Amino acid sequence: MKVYKNEKGVTLIALVITITILALLFSAVLSELLGNSGFISQMRQTKADEEISQSYDQTRINSIMEKSEDTQESDGATGMGSEPYLGTMTINANVTNNNSSGFQKRDISINVSITDVYNAKISKIAYAIKLSSNENYSAEEYDPLNLTSLKYTFSGMDPRSTYSIKVTVYYEDINDTLTGETSVYTN
Walk along the chain (187 residues) and give the pLDDT tens digit of each residue.
677 666 677 788 889 999 999 999 999 888 888 877 777 778 888 888 888 888 877 887 777 766 655 544 433 333 334 444 566 788 888 888 876 655 678 888 888 887 655 556 777 888 888 887 777 888 777 766 666 667 888 888 888 888 898 888 887 767 778 888 888 888 7
**105-115/151-157 β-pairing:** antiparallel
Amino acid 90: pLDDT: 83
DSSP state of 118: -
pTM of this structure: 0.49
Residue 96's nearest CA partner among 107, 87, 88, 105 is 107
| Domain limits, the chain | 1-82, 84-186
Amino acid 76: pLDDT: 37
Round to whole Å and give the CA distance between 89 and 144: 19
Element (H, E) at 62: helix 39-70
Pick the CATH number of 84-186 from 3.40.50.2300, 3.10.180.10, 3.30.1490.20, 2.60.40.10: 2.60.40.10
Amino acid 24: pLDDT: 95
What is the distance, to the nearest Å, from the Cα of residue 43 to the centroid of all Cα atoms in its chain?
22
Amino acid 178: pLDDT: 81
Amino acid 16: pLDDT: 92
Bridge partners (DSSP) of residue 185 are 162
